[in-house]
Structure 1
Amino acid sequence: MDHGNGSASGTGGRAAGTAVVVGAGVGGLATAVGLRRAGWTVEVLERRTAPERYGTAFGIHPTAQAALDRLGLGDALRTRAVPYRDARIRRPDGRVLAALPLERIERRAGRPELLIARPHLIDALLAELDRLGGVRIAHGRHLTRPEDLDADLVVGADGINSVVRSACLGRRSGPRPVGTVAWIGIAGFETGVYGETWGEGRFFGMTPVEPGRTNWYAVVPAATTTAQEVRDAFADWHDPVPRVLAETDPATWIRYEMRHLYPALPRFVADGRIALVGDAAHAMTPNLGQGACTALLDAEALTRAVAAAGPDGLPAALRAYDAERRRSAQRVALGSRTLHRFVTTRRPALRDALVRLLPG
């Protein structure tokens, strides 16, 4: 897929530099958008042979929405997203323990949390790249030596198993399992019951995603390997949890091992020309729903710093990006991992008592 050599909006056709972005997920595509808008010539390398449109829903926090606005993508997000305003934490018997702080988030930010189907967000990013022009996306590219890439800037957006990260920062930090697997899917009806239900060593979540459908996820011990085992694990939970699992075709379910990047990286940049974004930099468990948000914030911060400095000022720009994003993203990752331990505890009575103490 080659969009030619069109100029980005506001650049007058002048290419500020050359960049290779490794990975065509949310973080990589958003980075390509930001760089192209700044006038850079961009190539995106993706090992998959086609755009990755699998997946269910992303929660987009107001801070990430603002980043998308700065990237020129806010309207495209809002066209397909739905607000997330009413969600509860429950016990398996259906008793409500607490409300998620969605109202407080909306009041403080002046806008609600939004939910969007992952394929819709990917398509919006691809459409913006197509509109901007001057970006080549090379699918089916298996990168082995990122240090050999001929570009002013190399961006590693290649996920938790990042080749770019290993090449520039070594293998001390890498994927670590947390002992659970997540099964995710989309039910073909609206449940009207949203939030998470926490049991012993497992939990189940439901969110809106678009009219007539419900996004769901079931997190269970890693030994759970079949759809029937998942259904059995939640068979006696409150309505509509068993119904959601019974009425969603297992052929459409996605199973993945929950992992995080450990230990935390000492920096997100290297060699004055390499930067990491998204899961390549700080892969986290999904408990806080911040994976896509942090990737978008990374992309916007990196491209803003690079646009201000230009190719000649790239080392300083990358240092500024690292200073802005590393500690913030790593705090979110640590918080998400801590919440995972809390939610999947084998002592649910103590956990539930603590949750009931939370402010309403």
Structure 2
Amino acid sequence: MRAVVVGGGIGGLGAAIGLHRAGWTVTVLEQAEEFGDVGAGISLWPNALRCLDELGVDLGEHLAAQDQGGLRDRRGRWVARWDAAGFRRLHGLPLAGIHRADLIAGLCDALPADLLRTGTEVTEVTEDGVVRFDGGEIRADLVVAADGIHSAIRRALFPHHPGPVYSGSSAFRGIARPATIPGLSTTFAPGTEVGVLPLTGGDVYWFASSVTEPGARPADLKAYLKEHFGDWHDPIPALIDATPPEALLYHDLHHLAAPLETYVRGRVVFLGDAAHAMPPFLGQGGCQALEDAVVLAHSVSTVDDVDAALAAYDAQRRPRSQRVARASVRAGKAGPQVTSPVLSALRMNLLRLVPTKLTARAGASISGWRPPRLPRPVPPRTP
């Protein structure tokens, strides 16, 4: 059985690993000239770490376990402390941070290099599994559409779907190497959220999202950040100062507000942002893509008929991933997208009343998800 994966991001590479482990012949087609990701970090919750373990991906020393943290106001006062130890006891795993580039490299390392093709622009995908690209054509038993939030395959096979819409917020992102490594934290102010996520190697990933008009990109990103966040609590100004201007990222945040009615069109299956792009307010975008990858590999390895296997994948993944996507939207509207100072102050006062021990269970229905088992590699026989 032959599969073509269009897109070499987190979900696409995860799907390729799972399908390869299930015995499929896999080709990954990536439009960029090399595999990689935008220079920022990502949080991996226990549901994602379990998926990586099931896929046999060992990220080792690249993972930074988060053993403390909490919510603060812009002056730095703690609103709620996160029970990281209780979270680890509940899930058996921590929340972890990692460079996106290290995650992509770890996924690539889990695949034979000859399965990966870069600099390949896919020009057409048909429902019966034909993939045409610059310089060739492949007829596949399965095509995995993992080509991101602006998926060309989704536009072609779901022509009436409205596509991604603006979430209401835009975000700065950066990686700094400050003199002192801070702990994990989230800071709320009206219409704004700043997150701090320590990584390995002395690096710290940070982001700042704000409610604003789409397309309102500041002319000088560094100057804008220093003007708007220079008087916030430590370590936020220091992280901004320690981030090189050329490494600053700024993007409008989009998501698929209209859910797809199915994740399957013939022999084409959608996963990750191509299927259920969500705003980042729960940190679950990449995690849900890894869940997709493991469930797809399990479905095709346990159900002989491909059409039936894809139907099983759709039945499992569509309800859960769309539920998480809706929860991400709600989390934004109830948190960093609250612009009223009065409502923002009320929210913070209510959060101060939450006992620390209860914070370990926040999001447990999402983080507690466990992947199905995949086929184990058969060790070679010894003579």
TM-score, normalized by length of structure 2? 0.84
The answer to whether structure 1 residue 25 and structure 2 residue 14 are counterparts is no
Q: 2: CA distance between counterparts of 1:219 and 1:119?
A: 22
Residue in 2 that maps onto 1:172: 161
SS in 2 for 1:327: helix
Question: Structure 1, residues 166-223: CA drift from partner, whole Å, max 9, x if none?
Answer: 2222342411112221111111124323211111111111011113111111112343
* Equivalent pair of 2:5/2:143 in contact (CA under 8 Å): yes
Q: 1: CA distance between counterparts of 2:151 and 2:288?
A: 17
SS in 2 for 1:66: helix
Taking a change above 3 Å as real, the CA distance of residues 48 and 152 of structure 1, as seen in their structure-2 partners, is same
The answer to whether structure 1 residue 64 and structure 2 residue 48 are counterparts is yes
Q: How much has 1:224 moved relative to structure 2? A: 4.8
Residue in 2 that maps onto 1:229: 224
Question: Which range moved further: 165-174 or 86-95?
Answer: 165-174
Residue in 2 that maps onto 1:8: none
Code of the residue aligned with 2:145 in structure 1: it is G
Residue in 2 that maps onto 1:143: 123
SS in 2 for 1:258: strand
Q: How does 1:271-286 map to 2 (within 5 A)?
A: 271=266, 273-286=267-280
* Equivalent pair of 2:6/2:122 in contact (CA under 8 Å): no
When the two structures are aligned, how many residues end up with a matched partner?
337
Q: How does 1:218-297 map to 2 (within 5 A)?
A: 218-220=208-210, 221-222=212-213, 223-225=216-218, 226-227=220-221, 228-271=223-266, 273-297=267-291
Residue in 1 that maps onto 2:308: 316
Q: 1: CA distance between counterparts of 2:103 and 2:43?
A: 11
Q: 1: CA distance between counterparts of 2:292 and 2:194?
A: 29
Q: 2: CA distance between counterparts of 1:320 and 1:113?
A: 29
Taking a change above 3 Å as real, the CA distance of residues 96 and 229 of structure 1, as seen in their structure-2 partners, is same
The answer to whether structure 1 residue 344 and structure 2 residue 333 are counterparts is no
The answer to whether structure 1 residue 299 and structure 2 residue 293 are counterparts is yes
Q: 2: CA distance between counterparts of 1:181 and 1:245?
A: 17
Q: How much has 1:101 moved relative to structure 2? A: 5.1
Q: 2: CA distance between counterparts of 1:62 and 1:77?
A: 14
* Equivalent pair of 1:41/1:134 in contact (CA under 8 Å): no
Residue in 1 that maps onto 2:103: 121
Q: Which has the higher contact order (CA 8 A, sep 6+)?
A: 2
* Equivalent pair of 1:19/1:155 in contact (CA under 8 Å): yes
Question: Which range moved further: 248-257 or 136-145?
Answer: 136-145
Equivalent in 202, 205, 209 of residue 199 of structure 2? 209
* Equivalent pair of 1:175/1:262 in contact (CA under 8 Å): yes
The answer to whether structure 1 residue 359 and structure 2 residue 355 are counterparts is yes
Taking a change above 3 Å as real, the CA distance of residues 179 and 319 of structure 1, as seen in their structure-2 partners, is same
* Equivalent pair of 1:269/1:275 in contact (CA under 8 Å): yes
Question: Structure 1, residues 234-262: CA drift from partner, whole Å, max 9, x if none?
Answer: 12211111121122111111111111112
SS in 1 for 2:164: strand
Q: Over aligned residue pairs, what C-alpha RMSD do you find?
A: 1.7
Q: 1: CA distance between counterparts of 2:116 and 2:206?
A: 35
Equivalent in 70, 75, 92 of residue 93 of structure 1? 75
Identity among equivalent pairs (%): 37
Q: How much has 1:266 moved relative to structure 2? A: 1.3
Question: Which range moved further: 295-304 or 203-212?
Answer: 203-212
TM-score, normalized by length of structure 1? 0.89
Question: Structure 1, residues 67-88: CA drift from partner, whole Å, max 9, x if none?
Answer: 1111111xx2233101012111
Taking a change above 3 Å as real, the CA distance of residues 102 and 267 of structure 1, as seen in their structure-2 partners, is farther
Q: How much has 1:324 moved relative to structure 2? A: 1.2
Q: 1: CA distance between counterparts of 2:158 and 2:11?
A: 19
Q: 1: CA distance between counterparts of 2:30 and 2:142?
A: 16
Taking a change above 3 Å as real, the CA distance of residues 264 and 101 of structure 1, as seen in their structure-2 partners, is farther
